[in-house]
Amino acid sequence: MTKTRGHHRGHEEHEEHEEHVNHEAWVIPYADMLTLLMALFLVLFAVGRTDLEKFKKLAQSFRQEFGNSSTEVVDMGGSGQDATGDGGAGVLPIEVSPPPTAATTTTLSPADEALGEKQAAEQAAAAEADSLDEVRDGLAAAAAAFGIGDSLNLTLDARGLVVTIVTDQVLFAPGQADLQPAGLEILDVVGQALLNVPNEVAIEGHTDDRPLGGGGRYADNWDLSGARANSVLRHFIVADGLPPERLSANSFADTRPIADNSTPEGQARNRRVEVIVKAQVSLSPVLRPDGTVDEDRVAEGVADAERAASADADQTADGPAPGGAAPPAGDGAASPPAVVDPAVIPDLSPGLKMQADGGAG
């Protein structure tokens, strides 16, 4: 009995030992997890410290590429440390862009850019043609006041304002390049009208197709037309005071006729000198297919330019444009056209003074 009771008691103690639960078993996997997390953050920190210099160099290269040297150090972690990263986390040099403006947010497509360039070219051509047209009106008024309006033909074409002077018995005697008194009077009016016009002036000499007789001063029509152009150029410089750097002379002989050389009338028209006030910009946007200026397109272009200028003035009145100050007045603007008043033309030849005083014409 005693033996049986002792065996039974030992069995109960064994059963109680098996039912005991260890509540601290979670510590081992928890410690393993903390160890792994610490190792992970140590690796991330080491990688971040290694690439910081590379990142700074990359940021600098982007700033140089986009032409912006403005850099602001932003503390991503609130540590207050500088960009070296010592003792802090997430402190990186970040380029801070200025607030978006109309100038920076508006991006034009290639088609819009091409359209804008076309409109700008049309407005510039219209403004130049309108300026040359005012010069033509002033020159026509001066010529009419001195009674020589019939001696000049004023036209606008792709070259600019073309003043055609028939040379036959007006500027020169047949086969000669010496200016005649009547020609001096005409050139004085033209030269004084162009004195304050900023455009370059080209003088072109032309002849008919008849060859010169042998034994004269000039070998051929090329020589004669060049001598006539030079005579006009020299008179503009010496008598009228035009700046030499604005003038040029060209010889075309009979290569550019404006009339049929088979008739005496056509030959007379081809014997001419053309004084060309050269356009400062291309007039092609306002030209007709035949090369003459389309007045309607000029008026339309001038109106468009005036509307654009009015819109710019309204914007300037509201405040300076974002991203910069308004351009100074006069930059890129066309010079005002010169309108000739016959009463103020100085030092004309005696014949012109006599006509002006007597009201001839």
Of residues 352 and 200, more confidence is placed in 200
Tens digit of each residue's pLDDT (9 = 90 or more) over 36-92: 999 988 888 877 665 667 777 777 777 776 665 555 544 444 444 444 444 444 444
**Tokens 């033509």 label which residue?**
136
Tens digit of each residue's pLDDT (9 = 90 or more) over 49-65: 656 677 777 777 777 76
What mean pLDDT do residues 165-169 have?
Answer: 79
The predicted pLDDT at position 262 comes to 93
Of residues 260 and 107, more confidence is placed in 260
**Tokens 């001195």 label which residue?**
146
| Domains and their CATH numbers in the chain | 25-98 (no CATH), 110-316+336-358 (3.30.1330.60)
Could you give the count of Cα atoms lying within 13 Å of 319 in the half-sphere of its Cβ?
Answer: 2
List phi, psi (to 5°) of 263. -120, 150
Output the pTM of the full model.
Answer: 0.57
Identify the band that residue 111 occupies on the pLDDT scale cut at 50, 70 and 90. Answer: confident
Is residue 192 pLDDT above 60, yes or no? yes
Q: What share of the chain is helix, strand, coil (3-state, %, to 5)?
A: 50, 15, 40
Average pLDDT, the chain: 76
Cα separations in angstroms, 161 against 3, 183, 227, 277, 302: 142, 20, 23, 5, 18
The predicted pLDDT at position 11 comes to 53
